[in-house]
Amino acid sequence: MLTMDIALPLDYEENDFISACVRQERWAQKRMYEEYYGKMMGVCLRYANNEDDALDILHEGFIKVFQNIEKYQPGTSLSAWIRRIMVNTAIDFYRKSIRRRTEDIEQAGNVDNMDADAISQCGEREILKAVQLLSPAYRAVFNLYVIEGYSHKEIGTLLDITESTSRSNLVKARLKLKEILTSGDFGYEG
């Protein structure tokens, strides 16, 4: 029997793979999950209180990915599309987990950037742990503004808060992070 190797364009492979996901073929869903698990878990950890919450967000996010895969536009970044779903799922998780309460809104002033020495002395785990120690409101605003690049107006819309509350929460988050990072108090026992 004669066999021939045929080179397929990369975009053909992606289209075929996405089509298999649309058809809910388990092998394709498993491959996507395994391919993006680590990167998306990192995204979820930034929004969660702990690893268990991050896993809940991740799994809920992948359910949404698989339910909406037909909306993905081939030729665009699949990773960015999945990341957006994970961030939106984290925001939904945040909305469900907080109790609506009235907070005093302080005028957001300029805050010095965090002490570069404090950050340079901390590893990735310590910084992630410090972010996880923030209150859900501060953590959500910090991640959306600093990591994801949303404006305060967009954050206000996403989290159903005012623009000034977003600014205030960012200032408070930065102050709290500075305090945690300079004190080295990450909540560890011993």
- Give residue 89's pLDDT: 94
Over residues 146-172, the pLDDT tens digits come to 888 899 999 999 998 999 999 999 999
- What's the angle, vertex CA 45, arms to CA 188 and CA 47, rounded to 5? 105
- Give residue 187's pLDDT: 61
Widest distance between CA atoms in the chain:
78
DSSP code for 70: G
Q: What is the mean pLDDT of residues 113-129?
A: 62
Q: In the chain, where are the structural domains located?
A: 10-97, 116-183
- Give residue 13's pLDDT: 80
Distance CA 36, CA 58 (A): 10
Which of the following CATH numbers is that of domain 10-97: 1.10.1740.10, 1.10.10.60, 3.40.50.1370, 1.10.287.3510?
Answer: 1.10.1740.10
Alpha-carbon 36 to chain mean position: 13
Question: Fold identical between 10-97 and 116-183?
Answer: no
Over residues 44-77, the pLDDT tens digits come to 999 988 899 999 999 999 999 999 999 998 888 9
- Give residue 105's pLDDT: 32
Choose among 40, 74, 69, 71: nearest CA to 57. 40
Tell which wins on pLDDT, 116 or 102. 116
The model's pTM is 0.61
Q: What is the mean pLDDT of residues 112-137?
A: 69
Domain formed by 116-183, architecture: Orthogonal Bundle (1.10)
CB neighbour list of residue 34: distance below 8 Å, 6 or more residues apart: none
Residue 59: how many other CB atoms lie within 10 Å: 13
- Give residue 120's pLDDT: 55
Banded model confidence at residue 180, pLDDT cuts 50, 70, 90? confident
